[in-house]
Structure 1
């Protein structure tokens, strides 16, 4: 190939490209206008969406995330529109196909992260717990100190910091002690079989009636629950006007001290465990009442 032939080919290519560019020039101008307007519209939509979402959710991180997603979606529409105006349909199709394959691969690779992420979104909208609540999640009980999109952080009453994935939070039962801003204190007690139960019930209620932080609008209840081995067992239920753990622990200690002092002042006995040995076949026979012949036989046989 000589120099003249090569020059002719290059000149022809440049001429074709110039003609194509001139024909495409209106589309390029239109695409540029669409792109500029699309950028401004996307920013405006992101600003409006952040305000609207903020009225539903108080999680700033979640609000920014959703507004950014909306911004990216609008920008994606703008970019695909620009490519279509520029008659790059094949490029649009290739981008969509590539995005679909990439999204599928990422979904399999990060399914646990995605599951925790979606659970965090549901938690933010449903609000089963919030920062500062006293909760029991799985085997952990403590105060919620942080709720992220991927995990929830709890500080136990022993001072440990527990990070629980949001999937575990959302899919398991939650004991929220702060939901009604009150907490019930249950005390298990036992009194002697020889005590007057009506008197026990009255004195128990009176002993804890002036308990600190007691919810005065709720009645103190005392129920006898069972005949124990050494005592008649009862349950005393007291509602506190706070769900905080220090208040609960202090109230429990104070209630035990008040009930013990009241029982001592009124000759009500909290019995020690008692074991009774019964040597009769039908019951009710002590060792001293057993026949001498039976005792001698037992001694000779080594029993």
Structure 2
């Protein structure tokens, strides 16, 4: 036993040193983790320091992998030692790049999240912050991947090409499709010119909902069935849209209904106006001149003489789109009940069939 120890004494000492270094590194990692976790919980007690925990796990795994690689040097001859040393430092470099990329991306995420929350508390628009968060995080991971690529000699020319000014455009244009680039540029246009922002109620084609997020690729709208509608930015930039929250939020709601030709038009107009004026969501949108001239709060006019109905329209104003929609639904119900009570007929399509008698055949 003693003879075996004397023969491999240097190897035993080397193994003990490697184990000691790994244990020391893991101990220092734990101390750093506990210190950072304590500071984070003290400053932000309601947030879970996930980044700190993940960084600790990555570093501990890195130390173990490097320790195993260091053990392997015992069994490697001088001929292959240089390559093994190169691989050892390569793994160390990639581990450090991974940790730095993760930490920077996480801090960027946390910084943007807190600023977005602060903007919301101050009732300010946070659309630009939400969009820039995606841009910066993608940029951080992009640079991290490039730095990792530069560690491999066979791929180094790719990284250098991408890092060059013209190479960035060439690589992006070559890798990304035209549609993806159009969505990306569309997202920048939306954030820059702000036809709408997060929290606005918009109508695109027949889809109406609240904008919940604007990403690099698409815009997400939550409709009134609580469904999430994902619209690519390139499409939403081409479509004509209605923004109910752009500028003044007051909304004019048309209340259209048809009555039969035999019904009393004046009575129907009176019922429409009275039901609209009695609704709690109706607002007075008359100017001072209109009030001076005794204009009605709700205008009701005949707008069409159709095949089987006289179409009436009332112009009713509400504070916003949501109240206007609720008001429209309530008014259709109350007007229908009043029409039934007052004897105003709402027609439905009629079809007249004419039967011709068959002439007798002459024999």
TM-score normalised by the chain length of structure 2 = 0.49
In the alignment, does 2:188 pair up with 1:188?
Answer: no
Q: What is the total number of aligned residue pairs between the two structures?
A: 210
Shift in Å, 1:97: 10
Of 165-174 and 97-106, more deviation after overlay is shown by 97-106
Alignment CA distance shift 1:215-1:59 (3 Å): same
Of the three residues 200, 203, 207, the one matched with 1:136 is 203
Q: Distance in 2 between matches of 1:259 and 1:57?
A: 42
Give the match's secondary structure for 2:285: coil
CA distance 1:125–1:97, change in 2 (3 Å): closer
Please state if 1:214 is matched with 2:257: no
Deviation at 1:201, TM superposition (A): 1.7
The two structures, once aligned, show a CA RMSD in angstroms of 3.8
Label 1:126 to 1:262 Cα distance change in 2 as closer, same or farther (>3 A): same
Contact in 2 for aligned 1:230/1:272 (Cα 8 Å): yes
**Higher helix proportion (structure 1 or 2):** 2
Q: Which runs of 5+ in 2 are unaligned?
A: 1-118, 138-159, 287-296
Distance 1:213 1:272, change over 3 A: same
* Cα distance change of structure 1 residues 57 and 121 upon mapping to structure 2, 3 Å threshold: farther
1:155 counterpart residue number: 222
* Aligned equivalent of 1:118, options 185, 198, 201: 185
With the length of structure 1 as denominator, give the TM-score of the two structures.
0.57
Cα displacement (A) at 1:267: 2.7
Equivalent position of 1:237 in the other structure: 315
| Matched ranges for 1:209-288 at <5 A | 209-218=277-286, 219-244=297-322, 247-276=323-352
2:329 & 2:163 partners in 1: Cα distance?
67
Separation in structure 1 between the aligned mates of residue 130 and residue 344 of structure 2, nearest angstrom: 59
1:209 positional shift? 0.7
CA distance in 1, matches of 2:317, 2:344: 24
4+ long deviations beyond 6 Å: 54-57, 64-68, 94-97
Contact 1:192 1:269 in 2 (8 A): yes
Whose radius of gyration is greater, 1 or 2? 1
> For the residues of structure 1 that align with 2:134 and 2:212, how far apart are their CA atoms?
21
Q: CA deviation at 1:153?
A: 0.6
Q: For residues 50-88 of structure 1, what are the alpha-carbon distances to aligned partners after superposition, in whole Å with 9 as ceiling and x for unaligned?
A: xxxx999861245568899xxxxxxxxxxxxxxxxxxxx
Segments of structure 1 that go 5 or more residues without pairing to the other structure are: 1-53, 69-93, 280-286, 288-293
Query: 2: CA distance between counterparts of 1:146 and 1:266?
Result: 49
In structure 2, do the counterparts of structure 1 residues 267 and 148 end up closer, same or farther at CA, with 3 Å as the change threshold? same
Aligned twin of 2:172? 106
- How many Å apart are 1:115 and its aligned residue? 2.3
